[in-house]
Amino acid sequence: MSSLFANLALLLGGFAVAALLYRQSQSLAQRSLHYMFALGALSLALAALGRLVLTRSGSEQQTLQLMLDNLAYYAGLPMIASVAIAHGWNKQWSRAAWGRWLLGLFALFELVRRSDTGVLYSQGLALLTCLALLAGVLKGYQGATRLFGLAGTLLLSIGLLAFGPAPLAAGFQQDALYRLALAGFIILCGYSFSRTPQAAA
């Protein structure tokens, strides 16, 4: 039951944030940031959807479920953290640049997957994602939106580093708590991002 609730919360939160940012009116300069954040939120929602609908035993469904989980962990979350950095430091990246960065994340994941450093890479990526998100929130947000962003960052850090697929302390992995933390993170940070326009260059 807890796993069902956590995945439903992540599904609804991810889709809601993705829709909000995609439809939100913004300047041309900030549009790419909104789209990339929405794409990251969508990847989290799809991972939750996979857990809810791909419930039958079988290698094909398990493989698809794993692919959706990996997309969220190794691409979606780092993409959102990258958006936070770009937003905080007032950087304007083209869609082509974002596409190359996304392809780079895919290539790096595939390279690590073929080696014996998968767990170390997963833990390092989780830590860097949390630190990048924290830096972006502290740099780019003010007032109440900063508090929402910091609360979301704290939830993400707890989810990834304590309960995620590759926790820093072995034996503490809890999928329901991990996904519930992701749901809180995407709602809080998505709302905070939507309420914080990028400073004029």
Q: What is the pLDDT of residue 1?
A: 60
Q: What angle do CA 76, 82, 83 make, to 5 degrees?
A: 90
Condensed to tens digits (0 to 9), the pLDDT of residues 145-174 reads: 999 999 999 999 999 999 999 998 877 789
169 — alpha (psi -120 to 50), left (phi > 0) or beta? beta
* Rounded Cα–Cα distance for residues 155 and 177 (Å): 10
Residue ranges of domains in the chain: 2-194
Condensed to tens digits (0 to 9), the pLDDT of residues 35-89 reads: 999 999 999 999 999 999 987 777 888 899 999 999 999 999 999 999 999 999 9
**Which class for 144: exposed (0-12), middle (13-18), buried (19 or more C-beta within 10 A)?**
exposed
> What proportion of the chain, given as a percentage, has pLDDT over 70?
95
Q: What angle do CA 128, 130, 133 make, to 5 degrees?
A: 105
pLDDT band at 19; cut points 50, 70, 90: very high
For the cut 60, the answer to whether the pLDDT of residue 201 exceeds it is no
pLDDT band at 2; cut points 50, 70, 90: confident
For the cut 80, the answer to whether the pLDDT of residue 124 exceeds it is yes
Helix (H, G, I), strand (E, B) or coil at 140: helix
54: DSSP letter: -
Q: What is the pLDDT of residue 28?
A: 63
Q: What angle do CA 162, 163, 165 make, to 5 degrees?
A: 115
- Other beta carbons within 10 Å of 113: 12
Helix (H, G, I), strand (E, B) or coil at 38: helix
Condensed to tens digits (0 to 9), the pLDDT of residues 6-18 reads: 999 999 999 999 9
* Rounded Cα–Cα distance for residues 189 and 7 (Å): 18
